[in-house]
Structure 1
């Protein structure tokens, strides 16, 4: 907070360096202060960005036993759960079609359906239908990506994953280059 006697003055770096030279202060010390201030500002920006979309997923210890059970007894279901964790937004939601999951895991519709059913029946996820796609909501008591104070909120905005095979016309029409597309791992 500025007091009434403070005023911002904008000068070029070159002019500022001339003033420093006239004061007799070592330029290297002033440059270090400037660099330190820039680094602090960049770190503050990085932290703010991480707050909006943290680069981690929290797994709660209280449900590690259930996760181990899933990994041991339902290999595909656990792979799908971790695929969801990897791609979900910071509100534990991901939207994708069964076709995308079939291609991603090289499995048939029934196998994917059964794996999702296992996740749902055992409380790892909830599923909301959106036309031919589903919104998968990961149970925030098992894993969460946002800050702990927001654990009680689940929004229905989500990262939407599409694949090229289901959307050939879209890709041809718009020639999307910067869209996140899951690569076919077999090729």
Structure 2
């Protein structure tokens, strides 16, 4: 199986990449490898034959723009976006990350209801370098996100979303 993943050099993306490359052909896209999600045309060319696209990297609106670019360019495989339950707190906190992830949730829901093969996995805090400084919160092990992605990949049918929290 051919799988493309954004943000594959750290955090959730690295855990997914390391797990999936064992049995699959995996293409990684990341700023650190000059394959940035802010320039989707290159990504679209390189992943057009992939069976799965994991939309993991977060960079403001770029994650949402990439999702729509995949659909616009008629990507045929499953698209799995990594969202966040922080989107549920938009009413209580105004900060860009939650707003972007809320928009990603809405975009996935819209595309799902249009019949697209999209899934949004919405984890809570994950024990990754991005939040390792936070000692005031409970964090999930990244393995739960990896398990959820593998489960979605293995399903022959569409899965709308999965929420993971402690």
Q: Which has the higher strand share?
A: 2
Q: TM-score, normalised by structure 1?
A: 0.24
Q: Which has the higher helix share?
A: 1
Structure number with bigger Rg: 1
Q: TM-score, normalised by structure 2?
A: 0.26
